[in-house]
Amino acid sequence: MYDRILVPIDGTPGSERAVRNALDIASKYDATVYVVSVVDNGPLGRDGARADRVERAEKALEKARREAEDAGVDLQAELLEGKVTAQIMQYVDKHGIDLVVMGTHGRKGFDRFVVGSVSEQVVRNADVPVLTVSLGSDTVKVTSVEQAHEIARDALAARGYDDITLEQGAYDEPSAYVVQGVADGTRCNVHVEKGTGSPHVVELGSA
């Protein structure tokens, strides 16, 4: 299903969780994971402020490399400079990315965006599916496909979809169930984390 997966990271818990989700997906589909950390080249105040950001970015990339090695997944990591959203979108085009995985802040297990955030801008403008990994606040251990279906339906409804049809069964990945369906004419995959119950919606386009 996916060959090239991009994960923009910034060293926060949300982006670290996005890396783990991307590695799970890559291991299933034998995909390559591309991890980038973008240092904004705009005004940063003192020279030390920029140096601190570069150092944090390099540490985050190195941690992702170690996790990929442990998982046996091919990973390429790169430090970029420039406007964050623009660099991500250019990277998607340049490297033929077919899935973007990004961390977001959330509440009640459903994705919520800060207007103008990088995640929101990428979701709105990307021509490829974007999987948003919410930090969430609820912890619900998911042990059955039936539970995953309920959570997936609620997640799609929370996004404003009305006419929701879910396919029977689900893909059983190491850390999540993947529920497939159609919502208001849009094909969707909902990744439901087994350990937390957090749903992550990937919109695939018109059914």
Domain shared by 15 and 86, yes or no? yes
Same domain, 52 and 124: yes
Q: What count of residues does the chain have? A: 207
Cα–Cα distance, 171 to 136 (Å, whole number): 22
Domain co-membership, 97 together with 47: yes
Q: 182 and 125 in one domain?
A: no
Domain holding 153, by residue range, is 138-207
Q: Where are the alpha helices (DSSP H) in the chain?
A: 13-29, 47-71, 84-95, 118-125, 145-158
State how many domains the chain has. Answer: 2
**With contact defined as beta carbons under 8 Å apart, do 172 and 142 qualify?**
no
Whether the predicted model's global pTM rises above the 0.85 cut? no
Q: How far apart are the first and last CA of the chain?
A: 16
Is 82:35 a contact under the CB 8 Å cutoff? no
List the pLDDT tens digit at each of the 207 positions of the chain: 799 999 998 766 667 788 988 999 999 899 999 999 988 765 544 444 677 778 888 888 999 999 999 899 999 999 998 888 899 999 999 999 999 998 775 433 333 444 347 777 888 889 999 988 765 544 557 889 998 998 898 889 878 888 999 999 999 988 889 999 999 999 999 999 888 788 888 989 887
